[in-house]
Structure 1
Amino acid sequence: MIPLSFAQSRLWPLRRSGGPDGAHHLSLGVRLRGPLDTGALREAVRDVVGRHEALRTVYTERAGQPCQRVLDVREAVVPWSVAASTPDALAADVARAAGRAFDLGHAIPLRAELFEVAADDHLLLVTVHALAADGWSLAPLVRDLATAYDARCRATAPTWSSPPLPYAEHIAGERERLRASDEPSGLAARQLAYWHKVLEDLPRQPTLPQARPRRAPAEHPLRYDVVPADLERALHERLLTFAREQRTTVFTLLQAALAALLTRLGAGTDIPLGTLTSVPDLVGRFADTVVLRTDVSGNPCFRELVNRARTTGQEAHDHADLPFDHVVAGLAAEGALPDTADAALFQVMLVRAPGAPGVRFTGLDAEVWVSDGVVDAVPHGRDGAGHDLTVEFAERHDGEGRPAGIRVLLKYATDVLDRAVVERMAERLLRLLDAALAQPDVPVGELAVLSEHERGTLLDRWNEHPGHTPDSETCVHEHVERRAAATPDAPALLFEEQRVSYAELDARANRLARHLVDRGVVRGSVVAVHLPRGVELVVAVLATLKAGGVYTMLDPDLPEERVTGILGRTGASCVITSGELAGRLGSGHTEIDLDREAAAVAEHSPEGLGRVAGPEDPACVMFTSGSTGLPKGIVSPHRSVVGTLIGQRYVDFGAGRVWLQCAPVSWDAFALELFGPLMSGAVCVLQPGQRPEADAIVDLVARHGVDTMHVSASLLNLLIDEYPRVFTGLRQVMTGGEAASVPHVMRLTRDFPGLRLVNGYSPAESMIFTVTHRITAADGAHGTIPVGGAVPGKRLYVLDDRLHPVAPGVVGELYMAGIGLAHGYTGQPGLTAARFVACPFGAPGERMYRTGDLVRWRTQSTTPTPRRQPQ
């Protein structure tokens, strides 16, 4: 009895694991056309088994430890069978035969089955358990089989060129090298030191696009499927030519291309790839693992990346004498690797599979194929888990030895990746490789990964809304004026006991607008509104717009020094105020006290002033703190407000709606809750106070029949938990500003199925909502509630740091363009230039806003909740 090799020991625990039949079998098929000598072929199979110890070995356990025994040639019984088949049934017959289990304790790990398709057409199937062979074993096995058949056809025993290495000697050599690892200055110690340096700060698992979280492998063994992808002869020839020029191999070129692709797909620039090494031209389980840590930092050109990959590969193979499991165990004991259950060293493998060898069988036309896949679900890492993705390739050559293409297989864990995702990865790998060979001195970040159709989808088609044309030619107050003319007696505002019609609201705003002009307000003047929420505040905002001014809201609840600071940064020419707030903000501006100047305002005509400012003129300056805490004054034009609210369908903007306005006046949601109803002819109910109050909301919804409102996600959760009755009368609820709680919104959709619940998102720089998503019960399957796709007139781009669109599922930075965009930041030209950048996908001179939010596309209509980068 002899122990298992280290490669066999890795596989031993999985010999009875679940998964497809034959998951740990290797198959060799030889299609033989012509007059076959069946007896000679059977003897040839016996000769090959006699020649290679690994093929006549049985396995057992002694004292709980696995071991193996090599049978004498005369003792080894070679399973052999002959069966009839047909061309149509052959593939199924072969698959069924290849998947049958081995009795490893009592029979050799090889069997041969001959399928007779016709009198002169046969297929020989040789199936070997992976304990006895690896993918590189099949080439010498079939060559020996051809040699033995030739001899047996001549009624002689085969003459071998040289005796193979006995597998027992390979095992003894492994053990000897392991014992030598205790010598501090020996080969083993130097190699351990090398791997310590390579692996000690290895990045965690790379992020594959649209990958699902991995589950504990012990409880959920990974299942696999395969996506084939072929490199045509022409591309194969180009690869070989470039490899010769660079004095490297096709493997190295594919290593560089795969690393570049993973970087482009969001996996970072430090790409650990696993691969397998073996002993060529020997039959046995020799395969072992090494890690190729490929450096894609600095956006190198493909030629430079190939040089890096060649150096990495050479160094790794120069230090591959120790079994990799021993290397990993040693580093783990030293604390050089993370001690977590999912600490696989890599989740992507690249493996060169041996191609089908060209051999001649005496008197026959022979065609050889080997099973798809030399990589079984074998653990390479400390968690015993298989890998998410393995890219395996085999070069093909014609009968003259010329390149005939490369067979590429992408083997993926179906619990982690969807087939469609892997198919697109295969397409992108071939596209990038083609581009890299055509332009090897172009940075890999500039090489084509997306097809033209994909680019068109991401940049154009997913931003299109046929039949939707938001209004960009009208000012905010002009829409209110139209409503006043069309339905003068309809209620516009409800506040406490006050009911203000559209005609009254328009007339009061016109009088105040004329008063503002008399006090010096001109087109573009910034007017600060420092009033408590109420009818006078709404009149002041509309009057400012009618006079051509730009309103900015000063929240009375903010500390006075903050309000004063905001006022100073706006350059406001005047402040509209009243009551106790009058006189608080110092000098340096004109103060209009509505109480003291009420009589003067009343003397003005109620007629409108006509158009003073246009759609591109600023309408408001909104101050947000940003992630730095420093106030940023966002200057937004009329076009931004009107385009976000008029002609949209994320909610019903009909005249019969009753809206609630409760958001703080300094938020962009204030514009939604105020102008959404007033520009549509609906009713706006004003909540007293400066902050939303749950009790007040419940009361106003019941008292005034409010059916439409917007609340933050946290307030929505509170209402669902503590005041669920409020939703009985509501028909439309919008939420945003923070991530929606999946359990809460799922409960709401279940209990109130008729409620339209909309999740939206936008920084104030793109006004209120840029993306919206109507929440349904189906969204409960996601870990987060989607925030949606772009509303009509606005566009989304998810880009990398070179402003290239990233593929769906890949994390990128979100950029916004279109009708909602602000002009910039008041008094901060540098920040404006940094955040509002030239849009390479729009008309000349068009800009887009760099949000700083990290997102990924799911489909056309959904992106996950963004994560913000520091600004």
Structure 2
Amino acid sequence: MIPLSYAQQRLWFLAQLEGPSATYNIPLALRLSGDLDTEALTAALADVVARHESLRTVYPEHEGTPYQHILPAEDARPALPVLTAGEVTLADVLAAESAHVFDLATDLPLQARLIRLGEREHVLLVVMHHIASDGWSIAPLLRDLAHAYRARTEGRAPGQEPLEIQYADYTLWQQEVLGEPDDEDSLMNRQLTYWQQQLADLPEEATLPADRPRPAVASYRGDTVTVHCPPGTHTALADLARESGATLFMAAQAALATVLAASGAGPDVPVGSPVAGRTDEALDDLVGFFVNTLVLRTDVSGDPTFRELLERVRATDLAAWAHQDLPFDRLVEALNPERSGARHPLFQVMLTLVQAGSTDPGADFPGLRTRAEYSATRTAKFDLTIGFDEHLTRDGRPAGLDITAEYATDLYDPETVEALLGRLLRLLGEAATHPDTPLSGLDLLDPAERSLLLETWTGRTTPVPDASLAGLFAEQAARTPDAVALSHAGRGYTYAEVDAVTNRFAHRLAGLGVGPETVVAVLMERSADLVLALLAIVKAGGVYAPLNAVDPASRLRRILADTAAPLLLVDPHLADHEIVGEAGDTRVLLVDDLTADAGTDAHPATAPEVPVHPDQWLYVMFTSGSTGVPKGVAVTHRNVAELALDHRWTGSAHRRVLFHSPHTFDASTFELWVPWLTGGTVAVAPAGVLDTAALAAVLAEESVTGLWLTVGLFRLVAEEDPAAFAGLREVWTGGDVVPPEAVRRVMDVCPGLQVVNGYGPTETTTFATSHLLHRPFAYPGALPIGRPLDNTRLHVLDEHLELVAPGVPGELYIAGAGLARGYLRRPAQ
């Protein structure tokens, strides 16, 4: 039995896994104008199938293993049924016939249809399964078909010399040349080693942010959008590539990576690219599946110039092409990325560049004028396939580029892809004209996008004082000294009291060596002492690094080591915690009732004179580590001031905010600093995990007006006691899917409440009186990618946005940025 080639094995496996589909069909539609000899064309098709064994090979299996079964030529003569269509209906007929589903075990991998448009006008549609053919096979197939047609119209057999080798020969040769992966000296092992090093720490997903949540299993439904790049830009790009020792493909790759990175894909952009795989001249005339896929990784970080990025791409691609023999499926098997039916492994965007007309059969069909007729399969194997078709003049000069995006309709609307291609066109023009300008200086936005981002979505801005949070708190305390700043366990503390206590403790911390950007680790339960201690650290110029007592000791050790914190604040009842005993050179200070602590009272109530710049660190929080080792994220005074002083918090909804999130969770930033910098009250919840009853009790006792909840807790309250929200004005939730039924249940019980999806997806639904959001923060490098959507659909909302009053008619928009994206609602004008 003849085994399958490595590329065929992968397609066969996908066919078994995903079931019958047209995803891997290759349609070829050829318009034939003139007096067509149908019998000669039918015989010519049979001649081509007889000549190329791959076109008469089926793939049965024996004991679970597929093999190539080559049918005799006399048993594999394809039929050529004639269909009738008009010019208007032709596209639909081609699409329907191109969607033919092959049974790989029994069907010839080629199907042909002749579509009659008129007496002298026909379209030949040949549909091949990818397991038997590839894009480079179209040229020899058309060449042999034209030769055979000419011979048959003259009443003779084609008479061509037999092919030197067949696809089955290549399959056996491939296995022999590559060798075994366990053999250190084999070609496969050497190339695998290269790719393992090249693709180490590859992002699991790097693609254009989607219009919709990615489905659990891709449907592979697709569509296309095409734009044209003019000859002038084409010429300039070709000249730039030549000057850089690169190719036009490399310039296209650099441009695509730049646009994807700027649109939200991140700075590490892997794209897939096909290589012909015909490494011997004897393979050039064969129809077969030789193509291999390379993963070309582009590093866009560091704001290089386009010329510098092109040099990076050149080095990457030359090395990749030198290691192109390793089959892609073996690479996936070795790297073993997280497998998902929702996305392609290792890359989600494919890039191709071909010379337009490379499959044109010319005038070899006697008596007929021929031209390629577009046939869309309406499928998409990847999130995006960006194809560059290069047009040349007769003397070989650049004549423009057609750029086509095949996109997954599971993820994208056509307007989103059109916007991406528009940015790509603008970048190509900018890069060709200004190749030595840093990427950040190249303009990607059209006037409408710029206006949308800077005017429509920006809204009213709030000037932020150039001051530290300690200074801003002191100013607020001076304005409202008698207002309640902190409430806990039935006791209220005024701004004047909080200011004095934290000033005293800040002096004490300064005496222990805390100064500007000194990291102070904090191992404390939720309490008034905790929030007072955090404010005192800030006033001393320090940086608080919160520790969660329930986290594994190994994590806490890593945080202490990474921050090199010289001081650890500890609750007395946590004094026997494992990490306290292992503090080593880190000094431990027990914090117990700061308002009555003699050691603190001995210090002055005036603020310590510590120079703190707004761009110094305020706190360091560590990521969950779900994708690797937890990493510290430092946030500055200015970052938090811009959040807390935004005009959207100035109403009454956030006068009393519940501090109940773990202080290791960034929601605590909102819970502390928004009320403190706007004259409100931080209401501290009891220590420990709050169930629904405990949460309802503290909301009522503390007369809370503003609240942040995880989606899980919001859903639980909605199910068990939605009336717990009755006294609130706003509830923010997010981080996971926000169930529409939970929102409805809460809104039914508390009609005056505003529910805000702070971030994360929500299920598609109809919201008659949705409380939506409309303005994204101005993230650095943010790019809008949007269009009006149906007003009854709601998916993803961005973080920290401005509310629109319920019931206000408007349009839904999608916005994309390097750090955030979401569906937004703009009020009707």
TM-score (norm 1): 0.62
Given candidates 264, 286, 295, the residue that maps to 2:262 is: 264
Give, in whole Å, the separation in 2 of the partners of 1:22 and 1:90.
19
Alpha-carbon distance in 1 for matches of 2:42, 2:234 = 38
Rate the CA distance shift 1:555–1:21 in 2: closer, same or farther, 3 A.
Answer: same
1:174 maps onto 2:171 in alignment: no
Is structure 2 residue 326 aligned with structure 1 residue 298? no
Bigger mean CA offset, 122-131 vs 185-194: 185-194
C-alpha contact 1:81 1:113 (8 A) present in aligned 2: yes
| Contact 2:44 2:148 (8 Å CA) reproduced | yes
Aligned to 2:730: 734
452, 456, 460: which one pairs with 2:455? 460
Equivalent residue, structure 1, for 2:185: 185
Shift of 1:187: 3.5
Corresponding residue for residue 6 of structure 1? 6
**Alpha-carbon distance, 1:144 to partner:** 1.8
Contact 2:221–2:379 (8 Å) recurs in 1 = no
* Mapped partners of 2:247, 2:617: distance in 1: 56
Q: Which residue of 1 aligns with 2:220?
A: 223
**Per-residue deviation, 1:712:** 5.4
Q: Is the 8 A contact 1:274 1:292 kept in 2?
A: yes
Q: Which residue of 2 aligns with 1:322?
A: 326
2:782 corresponds to 1:805: yes
Say if 2:225 and 2:414, in contact at 8 Å, map to a contact too.
no
User: Which secondary structure state, in structure 2, belongs to the residue aligned with residue 292 of structure 1?
Assistant: strand
Alignment of structure 1 residues 356-395 onto 2, 5 Å: 356=357, 357-358=359-360, 359-360=362-363, 361-369=365-373, 371-372=375-376, 387-395=382-390
Q: Quote the offset at 1:164 in angstroms.
A: 5.3
- Residues 1:362 and 1:751: Cα distance change in structure 2 (over 3 Å): same
Any conservation in 2 of the 1:797–1:816 contact (CA below 8 Å)? no
Match of 1:412 among 373, 385, 407: 407
1: distance between equivalents of 2:639 and 2:397? 66
Residues 1:719 and 1:224: Cα distance change in structure 2 (over 3 Å): closer
Equivalent residues of 1:270, 1:296 under 8 A apart: yes
Q: Which residue of 2 aligns with 1:88?
A: 88
8 Å CA contact 2:649, 2:674 repeated in 1: no
Secondary structure in structure 2 of the residue aligned to 1:266: helix
- Change in Cα spacing, 1:626 to 1:323, as seen in structure 2 (3 Å) is closer
* Greater mean alpha carbon deviation, residues 139-148 or residues 412-421: 412-421
1:137-216 maps to which residues of 2 (within 5 A)?
A: 137-160=137-160, 163=163, 165-179=165-179, 183-206=183-206, 208-210=208-210, 214=214
* Structure possessing the higher radius of gyration over alpha carbons: 1
Measure the CA separation in 2 of the matches of 1:197 and 1:687. Answer: 52
Residues 144 and 857 (structure 1), Cα distance of their counterparts in 2 relative to 1, 3 Å cut: same
How far, CA to CA, are the matches of 1:449 and 1:716 in structure 2? 40
Question: In the alignment, is residue 554 of structure 1 matched against residue 498 of structure 2?
Answer: yes
Partners of 1:458 and 1:104 lie apart in 2 by 51
User: Residue type of the partner of 1:72?
Assistant: P
Tell me how far apart the structure 1 counterparts of residues 657 and 179 of structure 2 sit (CA, whole Å).
Answer: 78
Structure 1 residue 84 displacement after superposition: 3.1
**Contact 2:296 2:320 (C-alpha < 8 Å) held by counterparts:** yes
Q: 1:3–1:68: 8 Å Cα contact kept in structure 2?
A: yes
Distance 1:553 1:713, change over 3 A: farther
| Aligned pairs, number | 664
- Residue matched to 2:675: 669
Q: What is the Cα deviation at residue 149 of structure 1?
A: 2.2
Distance 1:855 1:362 in 2: 59
Q: Is the 8 A contact 1:797 1:814 kept in 2?
A: no
Give the TM-score normalised by structure 2: 0.65
Is the CA contact 2:737–2:763 (under 8 Å) kept in the aligned structure 1? no
Deviation at 1:176, TM superposition (A): 0.7
Distance 1:631 1:191, change over 3 A: closer
Equivalence for 2:134: 134
Cα 1:152/1:194, change in 2 over 3 Å: same
Aligned Cα root-mean-square deviation (Å): 5.6
Quick one: which amino acid aligns to residue 782 of structure 2? P
Instruction: State the alpha-carbon separation in 1 of the partners of residues 672 and 825 from structure 2.
Output: 30
| CA positional deviation for 1:137 | 1.0
Question: Which residue identity does 2:675 align to in structure 1?
Answer: A
Number of the residue aligned with 1:427: 422
8 Å contact from structure 2 (residues 11, 131) kept in 1: yes
For structure 1, which runs of at least 5 residues remain unmatched after alignment?
Answer: 378-385, 473-522, 535-539, 542-550, 572-578, 592-620, 654-658, 676-685, 762-772, 818-852, 863-871
1:325 deviation in Å? Answer: 2.5
- Work out whether residues 134 and 287 of structure 1, in 8 Å CA contact, stay in contact via their aligned partners in 2: yes
Q: Confirm or deny: 8 A CA contact 1:33 1:365 kept in the other structure.
A: yes
Q: Name the residue aligned to 2:627.
A: none
Distance in 2 between residues matched to 1:710 and 1:401, nearest whole Å:
68
Equivalence for 1:858: 822
Q: How far 1:186 sits from its partner (Å)?
A: 4.6
Q: Distance in 1 between matches of 2:407 and 2:783?
A: 22
Structure 1 counterpart of 2:446: 451
Q: 1:674 to 1:84 in 2, by over 3 A?
A: closer
Aligned pairs (5 A) from 1:312-711: 312-329=316-333, 331-332=334-335, 337-338=336-337, 344-352=345-353, 355-356=356-357, 357-358=359-360, 359-360=362-363, 361-369=365-373, 371-372=375-376, 387-397=382-392, 403-464=398-459, 529=481, 554=498, 561-562=505-506, 626-627=619-620, 668-669=674-675, 709-711=705-707
- The answer to whether the Cα contact below 8 Å between 2:477 and 2:496 also exists between their aligned partners in 1 is no
Quickly say closer, same or farther: Cα 1:747–1:105, change in 2 above 3 A.
closer
- CA 1:369–1:739: 2 relative to 1, 3 Å: closer
Answer yes or no: is the 8 Å Cα contact 2:263–2:782 preserved in 1.
no
Q: Which residue of 2 aligns with 1:239?
A: 237
Residue 160 to residue 230, structure 1, CA distance change in 2 (3 Å): farther
Offset at 1:721?
5.0
Asked if structure 2 preserves the Cα contact closer than 8 Å seen for 1:531 and 1:581, the reply is no
Q: How far apart are the structure 2 equivalents of 1:631 and 1:53?
A: 64
* CA distance in structure 2 between the partners assigned to 1:555 and 1:169 by the alignment: 84
Asked if 1 retains the 8 angstrom alpha-carbon contact of 2:306 and 2:438, the reply is yes
Using the alignment, how far apart are the partners of 1:5 and 1:389 within structure 2?
26
The answer to whether the Cα contact below 8 Å between 2:111 and 2:128 also exists between their aligned partners in 1 is yes
Q: Which moved more, 1:417-426 or 1:455-464?
A: 417-426
The 3 A distance-change label for structure 1 pair 200 and 62 is same
Deviation at 1:365, TM superposition (A): 1.6
State, as a whole percentage, how many aligned pairs show the same letter: 31
Find the counterpart in structure 2 of residue 287 from structure 1.
291
